Structure 1
């Protein structure tokens, strides 16, 4: 089951995508479909078929975003989170070989843009990190076996309307 948590940044991106699709891309493609349809025989009209396919794809995404945005719960930073890893945290970790990674614990809806530093709250790494503090060691089970990581730093994004 997918979690319904999202950061404010992630929520804002989904809202912006919905607005872009609904107010810019959809009207543009609808205009192209109408133009192509006015040319006559639609059965052999590549422009009509192609743009109609794009319109269906846009409509599917608009419907999905509309429903999903209603289900999501925005999680903002709370002062109680200071010093520990919780949802929305940026965490720098290091393994025994000295490999450094900076990751952010986010909702599954924020993974779609394939941001290399975002990890889902539902991932094994995020589950191992939750509630931990700087200098703690975590163990993560991976397909290649158990990995040990050390937490070097934890930080959170602050928003204008949130006071730390």
Structure 2
């Protein structure tokens, strides 16, 4: 992972921080306790709790290191503060139609929070790169491994800014 800033939404950053805190504050201490208990049971070479615990501890430590780097290099960008809501930028939720009139809704998010099955794609993906800067009604061609496809932008939306506790509807 390079040390360049990695754009992420506030929700994505919160999920990564929550995962880090869960692993570091809950799972890891329980696992260390289990490993200590298992180590006291004698022969470690055939002790499944000890062997599995050490393996799982290495996995958790690797994940914690990765999450720590992500948080260190994260540049939180709030899509709700996007001034020009008529143009596709980072954090936009976009409704598209392809040449077969199949419709899909995608949200452009940071690479560390992308989840294609949930419609959240990295803003660095080929389709996102092709869409950035487009407006409703425009068509964009995307080069994919399966060939070129074109998409028409049907709608663009951004999350609303969080309202202060004292404001009225």
TM-score by length of 2: 0.88
How many residues are paired up? 161
Structural mapping, 1:1-164, within 5 Å: 4-77=6-79, 78-111=81-114, 115-160=117-162
Structure-2 change in CA distance of 1:58 and 1:128 (3 Å): same
Contact kept? 2:5, 2:75, Cα under 8 Å: no
Structure 1 segments, 4+ long, off by >4 Å, are none
How well do the aligned residues superpose, as a CA RMSD in angstroms?
1.8
Unaligned runs of 5+ in 1: none
Contact kept? 1:3, 1:122, Cα under 8 Å: no
- Looking at structure 1, the residues matched to 160 and 30 of structure 2 have their Cα atoms a distance apart, in angstroms, of 37
Unaligned runs of 5+ in 2: 165-169
Contact kept? 1:8, 1:74, Cα under 8 Å: yes
- Looking at structure 2, the residues matched to 66 and 129 of structure 1 have their Cα atoms a distance apart, in angstroms, of 31
Deviation of the 1:159 alpha carbon? 4.4
